[in-house]
Amino acid sequence: MSHPSLLSASLALLKRDLSMTLTRGGGPLLAVGFFITLMAMIPLSLGPDSSLLSRIAPGVTWLCLALSTLLSLERLFERDYDDAVFDVLRLGPLPLELVALLKCLSQWLGTGLILSLLTPLIMIILGAEPSLALISLVAALLGSLSFALIGGIGASLALGARKGGVLMALLVLPFYVPPVIFGAGLMQAAQISASPLQALSFLAAYALFALALAPIAMGAALRSALN
Amino acid sequence: MINFLANPERFTRVTAPLRPWLVGLGLALMAWGLYLCFASPEDYQQGDTVRIMYIHVPFAYLSMALYAAIGIASFFGLIFRHALADAAAKAIAPVGAVFTVIALLTGSLWGKPMWGTWWEWDGRMTSVLVLLLFYIGYIAIHNAIEDEQRAARSAAILALVGLINLPIIKFSVEWWNTLHQGASVFRADGPTIAPAMLWPLFVMIAATHILTAWLILVRIDSEILARKYRALRARLSYN
Amino acid sequence: MPHILMVTDLSLRKGYNLLIHKLNFTLSSGEAIGLTGENGVGKTTLMRTLAGFQTPDSGAICATENDVQIESEIWWSEHVHFLGHQDALSPARTVSQELEFQAAYLGGDLGKVAPLNLKPLLDLETRYLSAGQKRRLSCARLLMAPRLLWLLDEPMAPLDSAHRALVAELMQNHLEEGGMIIAAVHDALPFATTGLRLERPAREVAGV
């Protein structure tokens, strides 16, 4: 008997999930479309005052990023849960915590990464300084990773619930407070040419914290859901 | 392992005789406390509005204490699979949520005459608002997941993740506040309290806590009974 | 390679309700158990517990090889296959994608699945398969990654008679090679099995 190594099984799972993220259910297009639509609604609701828009552009873009990431996470575990694919995944070499983490990461690679690449663009369209592009990209990458991991906890908790999507948003959004604050604060600091280093390190710290906490919480929640 | 209903039943047996004492003591203290509230002197600056404090402070304490209690019960429910702990956490949550709302509302009513604003986005108030959101999420999980035990597990995980996150959220909101200089209207630690006001406050805190303990014991008991009723019904449906 | 699976005093709950009370049985290499019982008595819960998906309320599940205990992590990740009544297939993926993923994830050899005659289906998305074809496809993982214990929940249900005979033959081969099978069944399997009938626990024991 040949048993696959942790690495080769992880890669197999990552490859499968990434291809499903990119092709199924509208793929990243859905999240990108939502992101852009939200952005278009902002000037329409606030009026075209460009000085106001450029002042709030970073903060508002962050909120749009958080909501778009959240939207794409609703079905993170649900498909495999409904199809009983977890019956196979659990009998492989990977612990459930790692399975959950890999699913989060492939979701992030498939949508969060693309949304992060769009973030500087959206911010500039809304009127922020183009010089902020690089720092906003770095911040968006860290932020969307936190959003994906924390959102994964929500998705695993809401698994199998009625109206799982709304429930998930309700559970997850309060946990988005720190990355939203640090991310938007970072942009604000950069806007007034203050050092964004403090906010950036808080943002990175929260991403690491989520990376440590999320697998444990998702593993426990999935274990109870898959009984 | 001992039959799972044995423990909750023993719990009911032990706590049932306590309940009349708790409710009697609680009501007596409450009556005394309310008398003291109105007998205590007015504040030289705030006048009568200072009396809101005697309601606000006990409920603010309770909203946090009950969330901590849910966290502890969740821990035991999750790690030791203690059915009673699940029942306790579920019974506490709506009480805690209502008390958080009371704390926010009385805080807002008190804040208007004192600081001239209904709401201030400072670290403390925002954290209490987030606490309310946690309570709502916790209750929503119990309502949305049909399998009781699964609901209890998911809710327990949420409670623990929330407990870990609350200090981080509080820190981040405070950090955010320092970023937006000039926004803070008042000192976060509030005014110092005169001794004449301390006594009524102390009695009110004791009264509300004892009555809350009684309320939660009753709710745990009815949760145990409801669970037993559902188990019986499930069994009857087989035959 | 004499393997033994020993289940002692196993009690299971579904939710807070006791389903199975102090179940005992032993299974050795080359043996099969046919699990029977009314609906709702806990067959699926027992199978899922034996697959390690759910922790028992009390009791022990212990596997040995030549009287040496196999660590439970290893047991469940290397020695057990579980086939539920759902087929564990993603509807949007093709048969060959599913097979390749399972082979890479579970560690298997796709050459071994030839008896199931899946070749004509390879390019189809699994949502286009009939229930019987889906079941054949899920049986592929039993063959591609050889594992000791097969846990089969109603394995024959969606199959036609020709394929029932095929799967029965595969099960017999597995037993001859020293494997073990526990199958929840309504109709008896066409080879020698030990019967195990689950009963509802008495009211006093269930505590209601």
Q: Is C13 on the interface with A (CB under 8 A)?
A: no
- A80 neighbourhood in chain C, CB within 8 Å: 90
Chain C residues with CB under 8 Å of A89 CB are 105
More confident residue, C111 or B135: B135
Beta-carbon separation of B158 and A171 below 8 A: yes
Cα–Cα distance between C149 and C144 in angstroms, integer? 14
Residues of B in contact with A225 (CB under 8 A): 150, 154
The structure tokens 């939207």 sit at: A71
Amino acid type, C206:
A
Q: Which of A104-108, A191-195, C184-188 has the highest mean pLDDT?
A: A104-108
Distance between CA atoms of residues B172 and B166, nearest Å: 10
The answer to whether residue B181 scores a pLDDT higher than 60 is: no
Interface of B with C in 61-120 (CB under 8 A): 83
At residue C83's C-alpha, the angle toward residues C178 and C119, to 5°, is: 90
Tell me whether C190 touches chain A (CB under 8 Å). no
Q: Taking the CB of residue A51, how many other CB atoms lie within 10 A of it?
A: 7
Q: For residue A164, which residues of chain B lie inside 8 Å, CB to CB?
A: 144
pLDDT value of residue A227: 78
Query: Which residues on A lie below 8 Å from B121 (Cβ)?
Result: none
**Measured distance CA(A67)–CA(A64) in Å, rounded:** 5
Interchain pair C207, B234: CB under 8 A: no
Structure confidence at residue B31 as a pLDDT band (50, 70, 90)? very high
Cβ contact A107:A75 at 8 Å: no
3-state SS, residue C184: strand
Please tell me if residue B2 touches chain C, with a CB cutoff of 8 Å: no
Chain A CB contacts of C107 below 8 Å: 1-4, 9, 93
* CA of B141 vs chain A CAs: smallest distance (Å): 7
- Give the containing element (helix H, strand E) for C65: strand C58-65
- Residue B169's contacts (CB-CB under 8 Å, 6 or more residues apart) are A174, A175, A177, A178, B127, B130
pLDDT band of B182, cuts 50, 70, 90 = very low
Query: Over chain C, what is the mean pLDDT?
Result: 88
**CA–CA gap between residue A155 and residue A168 (Å, rounded):** 6
Residue with tokens 């956490």: B89
Mean pLDDT, chain B, as a whole number?
84
Q: Which of A87, A99, A106 to mutate to test the interface with C (most CBs of C within 10 A)?
A: A87
Strands C180-184 and C149-153: parallel
Average pLDDT over residues A180-192: 85
Of chain A residues 3-42, which have a CB less than 8 A from chain B?
none
Residue B140's pLDDT is what?
93
Which of C12, C13, C17, C45 would best serve as a mutation to test chain B binding (most B beta carbons within 10 A)? Answer: C17
Search chain B and give the residue with CA nearest A187: B179
Lowest mean pLDDT of B127-136, B187-196, C198-207, name the range.
B187-196
Contact A221, B153 (CB under 8 A): yes
In percent, the amount of chain C with pLDDT more than 70 equals 97
CB atoms C53 and A13 under 8 Å: no
Considering the four listed CATH numbers 1.10.8.50, 3.30.420.40, 3.40.50.2300, 3.40.50.300, the one that applies to the domain covering C3-198 is 3.40.50.300
Interface with A, mutate which of B100, B179, B181 (most A CBs under 10 A): B179
Structure tokens at A166: 């709304």
Predicted confidence band of residue B192 (pLDDT cuts 50, 70, 90):
low
Q: What is the mean pLDDT of residues A162-167?
A: 81
Tell me the average pLDDT across B128-150.
91
Report the chain A residue with the minimal C-alpha distance to residue C88: A85
> Which of B136, B153, B161 shows the shortest C-beta gap to A170?
B136
- Annotate B104-136 with DSSP letters as a single string: HHHHHHHHHHHHS-S----HHHHHHHHHHHHHH
The C-alpha of C200 sits at a distance from chain B's nearest C-alpha, in angstroms, of: 10
Do residues A210 and A150 lie in contact, with contact meaning Cβ atoms separated by under 8 Å?
yes
Question: Hey, what amino acid is at A48?
Answer: P
Q: Using CB atoms, which chains have 3+ pairs under 8 A with A?
A: B, C
- Those residues whose C-beta lies under 8 Å from the C-beta of residue B180, and which sit 6 or more positions away, are none
CB contact under 8 A, A91 and C76: yes
Cβ atoms of residues B204 and B51 within 8 Å:
no
Which residues of chain B neighbour A224 with C-beta distances below 8 Å? 149-150, 153-154, 157
CB of C145 within 8 Å of a chain A CB? The answer is yes
- Best mean pLDDT range from A65-79, B64-78, B168-182: B64-78
Report, as an integer, the average pLDDT of B199-211.
92
Above 90 in pLDDT, residue A151?
A: yes
Q: Cβ C16–B3 below 8 Å, yes or no? A: no
> Chain A: residue nearest B142 by CA?
A161
| Cβ-defined contact of A83 to C91 (cutoff 8 Å) | yes
Binning pLDDT at 50, 70 and 90, where does residue B179 land?
low
List the chains bordering chain C where 3 or more Cβ pairs fall under 8 Å: A, B
Q: How confident is the model at residue A64 (pLDDT cuts 50, 70, 90)?
A: very high
Interface test with B, best of A181, A188, A222, A223 (most B CBs within 10 A): A181
Rounded to a whole number of angstroms, the distance from the CA of C205 to the nearest CA of chain B is 8
Report the pLDDT averaged over residues A21-44.
86
Q: Which residues of B touch C208 (CB under 8 A)?
A: 5, 228, 231-232, 235
Closest-CA residue of A relative to B169 is A178
Average pLDDT, chain A: 89
All structural domains of chain B with their residue ranges: 57-180+194-228
Give the pLDDT confidence score for residue B180 in this predicted structure: 60
pLDDT exceeding 90 applies to what percent of chain C?
38
For an interface test with C, the pick among A88, A106, A224, A226 (most C C-beta atoms closer than 10 Å) comes out as A88
Q: For A115-140, write each residue's pLDDT tens digit.
A: 999 999 998 888 888 888 898 999 99
**Contact across the interface for B148 and C15, Cβ inside 8 Å:** yes
Q: Write down the pLDDT at residue A144.
A: 95
pLDDT at C208: 57
**B238 at the C interface (CB within 8 A)?**
yes
Cβ atoms within 10 Å of C29's Cβ, excluding its own: 17
Within 8 A of B147 by CB-CB distance, chain C residues are 15
Residue C88 has its nearest CB partner, among A11, A23, A83, at A83
Q: Are C115 and C165 in contact (CB under 8 A)?
A: no
